[in-house]
Each structure stands twice: as structure tokens, then as C-alpha cells.
Amino acid sequence: MAQTHFGYQTVDESEKARRVRGVFDSVAKRYDLMNDVMSLGLHRAWKAYTVAVANLQPGDKVLDIAGGTGDLARAFAGHVGDTGVVLLTDINEAMLVTGRDRLLDEGLALPTAVCDAESLPFGTGAFDLVSVAFGLRNMTHKDVALAEMCRVLRPGGRLLVLEFSQVAEPLRKPYDWYSHKVLPLLGKWIANDADSYRYLAESIRMHPPQAELKAMMKSAGFGHVDVHNLTAGVVALHVGIKC
């Protein structure tokens, strides 16, 4: 059976999806709090920048993949108006339910669907914009997922990939120390789960760096890809335009 990585471990491909699901089942209830703590609130600025780059217009149709607790979907919904659509999806039901319920508590009802990004149940050319924030690195076949995202976009539509990336060289040693030593402790104290945040640190190191992900997006069918490094490359926003 083909193998892949789960953090620094090598596992069967069929095993990775189950393990990733277990990570997010475990942290769903404390996911937003942990994001605030471990990023010192910066994740809010990264997402706000992504929304600004999206430049959505009334009537746009948006697919938010691995949308988790709904931060981007909520922001997108404020730009597409009553004639637009924002569809919130995630492969993990616990995360999706947490996000849907939070949005409902705020008076916002968005269509939601549990689905796998590697086999999207949507028509070709159905969306103006597809987004995936902090989800691509968890996917087993990233090339397949990117091709699916390209397929469901209309010609000229855009894909926004917001993801942890390769930090600038002068910051790598302190960033490694923080990631491998501090993050698991925060996970233990706040979410009662050190292992899931140890996996987070490892999965970031296994994710393709900026230039490699740009090349993957071009291979998937995006004719032009821009890379926006945020916070010295801790996070990168890749913006791909479908041919």
C-alpha cells in the first residue's frame, strides 16, 4: 500500500485521513482559542488580508474548503450580498458542526457540506472563488486536491491558499524552538492535547515551501500564481488564477 507522512511519521495513505480526522475531532471545541493563543492573534490579520485580496463582489459564488469554524466564510458572506453564495465545507464533521453552530448563534445561516477536497461533489466551473485556509497541508494528495479546486472554478476564477510556510532564514531557529517546544505545551494546557499540536508543528515542516507549492498550483491548471509572504513567511497566501 502507498505510504505518506503524518507529521514526521510514515503511515499508509488510507491511515492518514483517519489520523487527521482524530486530530480535529480532539481540538474542535478549543480550536479558535488555540489559534488566538499560539499565533498571538495574528491569524485574524492573516485572514483579514486574505479577505481583502479576495476582493469579492455582490453575487459571487464562493467555496470555502476546510473551512473549520467558519472565520473566512463569515467574512466572505459580508461581501457577496444576498445574491451571492458562500458554501462552507470541511472533511471533519466535528469542525464543521462547531463552525455552523457558531455562525447560527451569530444569526448567519450558510450552506454547509461534509466533503473531501480530493473529490469535490460540485460541478465544473461552479465557483468564482475557492479558498482553503490552513487545510491543504493535511491533505494526503495535495496535487489531486488542487486539481479539483481548479476544476470547480470558472475560467478566470481564483484560488486562495492560506497556509503555514517556510519562515525567513534568520527566524528559523527560534521558530523551530517555539513550534516544537512551546506549541505542544500550549496544546496540553489549553486543549488537553499535546500530541495534536506536536503534529501541527511537524506537518508545517512537511508542507511544500512557497516555490514548490506555486509550481504545484501551476501544474494543477492555474496559469498565474502570486505568492504573498506574511509575517516573514510564517504564513504564505498563494493566489492562483485559472486559465
pLDDT of residue 200: 86
pLDDT in tens, the chain (243 residues): 677 776 777 768 777 777 777 767 777 777 778 888 889 899 999 999 999 999 999 999 999 999 988 999 999 999 999 999 999 999 999 889 989 999 999 999 999 999 999 999 999 999 999 999 999 999 999 999 999 999 999 999 999 999 999 999 999 999 999 999 999 999 899 888 888 889 888 999 999 999 999 999 999 999 999 999 999 999 999 999 999
pLDDT of residue 187: 87
pLDDT of residue 126: 98
For domain 3-168+208-242, give the CATH number.
Answer: 3.40.50.150
- What 3 state SS string does 94-152 have? HHHHHHHHHHHHCCCCCCEEECCCCCCCCCCCCEEEEEEECCHHHCCCHHHHHHHHHHC
CB contact at 8 A, 207 and 163:
yes
What totals of helices (H) and strands (E) does the chain contain, helices first?
Answer: 10, 9
pLDDT of residue 196: 84
CB contact at 8 A, 155 and 126:
no
pLDDT of residue 1: 63
Q: Where are the domains of the chain?
A: 3-168+208-242
Query: How high does pLDDT run on average in the chain?
Result: 92
